[in-house]
Structure formats: C-alpha cells, structure tokens
Amino acid sequence: MSKVAHSFIHLLFVIALFILGHSSDASAQVGGQSTFDSPAEDDAYGMETLRLYENKLSQRQERIPMNWVQIREADVMWEKRLWRSIYVNDPFNVHFANPYQPLFEVLIDVMRKNKDIKAFADDDFTMPLSYQDIEDLLHVQDTILVMDPITMKEVQKVVRNDFDWQKVTKYKIKEDWVFDSKYSRLIVRILAIAPIREIWADDGTLIGEHPICWIYYPPLREKLMDYTTVNPYSPSMPLAWDEIFELRLFQSHIYKESNVRDLPFTNTHGLNREAIMRSEEVKRKMFEFEQFLWTY
C-alpha cells in the first residue's frame, strides 16, 4: 500500500475520532450547559446534590394550597372531633425529623415571619401566645459560674440556652371529621398542630410531656406551601408541608375523641397496648360507618 493511501486512512481515523468526541460533548449538554457543570439548587434534603436532569417540579416558584371543599351546615350528617399523636421516631414519619429542615424549625420560622399566625397555650384557643412568649419558653436563661480573667475570681454570668429541636419527639393535631351528604364522603379538616416536648427525669424515666404551643392551622396552610420536605413515596419529587398533611402522608395514633368529660383514652404518656387498641377501634368504627352508608 502506498504512502498516500496510508495518509488518507490516517486522516479518516482522525476525523472519525473528532466527530465521536464532539457528539458525546453535545449530548452531555442541555440548552448549551452541561448537566454536570454545577450542583442543583437546595432540594428537599437541604443539601446540594448533582442531578442528571433539571428538576423543575421541585423548583416551582409559587405553590398554592389544595382547595378545601366548602361545607354547609345543612349537609353535615355526622361529625366527630379527634386528637392524634404523630411520633417522630416512627419510620414512616422520618420526614418530620429531617435534619436539614425539621418541621419544628419550619413552624418557628413561619411564626417569626408572619405575625398573623396565631398560637395558643391550649387546644381550645383561649390563651393566646405571642412569638416572644414562645421564644421565652424555648430559650431559657440560666446562671453559671465563670472565671473572671482580670480578677481571677468566679463570677456569676447569665447565659441563654438555645432549644434543641431534637427534643421535639412528637406532634399532636386536632381535627374534625364530617360526613358531607352533598359529596357523600368523609371530609377531614385539621384545626391545630402542636409540637410536643417530652419531660424526662434524671434517671431516664418519662414523667410527662408539654405542648410548646397550639398553632391554628387554617391560616398556616398557605405559609407551609413555601417549605418542602422529603416525599415518603418519591424522594425525587419533594412535597410542601401542607401537601404532606392534606394527603395524610404520616402515621399517627388517635389518643382522644370528643366526649362529655373531655378525657383521653389513657392517662399514661406514650404508646401502650390499651391506647393502640382504642385508637384502632375508633378507626374501625369510622370506616364501618362510612361503608354502611352505601348499598351494594
């Protein structure tokens, strides 16, 4: 084979390599920018991660809460008020303790930025609390002894202890269930939500629990749409906190239903066999009530 033929074959080989390299670079770019050039915006996990595609659903600029169906008093055939406990350590409720944006810090941030969000000391909404009142409950002042570097003597100093959000191990919600004859279905409306701080003795015994505050939920819905969290079913598509509650994407236990004496099922704190059985009994009765309204 002549030198001309060798040179021609070598030229074709170089051109083929150039075309293949150019096509691979072009395929890795979207709209003139490589998908691996820079990390995506902060996602629901609260950290920067590389994505193979542009996640436009999680970057929606405006989120609107789901519309609540208008309920007329004349259409209400049946109504029940329930109180539920959402345990953060439940595997299905792991998004409530997302270390990058836990629900407790979301609620505190919403109340700090929006003075129209109402908080109360009780679930009857009779004792209102201001944001400063809640701050005083969370950040307790304490007196400690420190060494004065000038006099070399111990002096008292007042310090402000920051509240650890991990101490919130449970949330309580107050909700109404009604059967609307117009739509022929049960409708639930959350009325209030409360982060619960458990109180432990020095020996590790649970001696009680205390609601930090009860937040009136209806005006809170629009504000919660600005905060996203992990979707338990699809981590690639985060959901707003109001969507989590409206879609019932949490595991809970009923600890009280409306009664004359306004008493919970048990006087003990935490879950036990009796409380779980009473909770399941209430769920079963509500399911049977709705099913018996239909004829097959």
Domain boundaries, the chain: 77-292
């004829």: which residue's tokens? 295
Decide: 224 and 106 in contact? Cβ < 8 Å.
yes
Q: Give the pLDDT score at 15.
A: 65
CA distance 142 to 122: 27
pLDDT at res. 20: 53
In whole angstroms, give the CA distance from residue 52 to residue 35.
6
Q: Which two tokens stand for residue 199?
A: 């109180």
For residue 81, what pLDDT is reported?
93
pLDDT tens per residue across span 92-147: 898 898 888 889 989 999 998 998 899 999 999 999 998 888 887 777 666 666 77
Average pLDDT over residues 159-180: 84
State the chain's mean pLDDT as an integer.
Answer: 78
pLDDT digit string, tens, across residues 21-37: 554 444 444 444 433 34
- With a cut of 90, say whether residue 165 has pLDDT above it: no
pLDDT in tens, 44-96: 444 445 555 565 555 555 677 888 888 888 989 889 999 999 999 888 898 89
How much is the pLDDT for 172? 95
Whole-model pTM: value is 0.72
Amino acid at site 251: Q
Instruction: Give the span between the Cα atoms of 165 and 138, in whole angstroms.
Output: 10
Of 82-86, 246-250, 280-284, 288-292, which range is least confident? 288-292
**Phi/psi zone of residue 277: left (φ > 0), alpha (ψ -120 to 50 degrees), beta?**
alpha
pLDDT of amino acid 28: 44
- Tell me, what amino acid is at 89? N
Residue percentage of the chain with pLDDT more than 70: 72
Return the pLDDT at 149.
77
Residue 78 contacts residue 243 (beta carbons within 8 Å): no
- CB atoms inside a 10 Å sphere around CB 242: 22
Q: How confident is the model over 249-257, as a mean pLDDT?
A: 91
Over residues 191-205, the mean pLDDT reads: 84
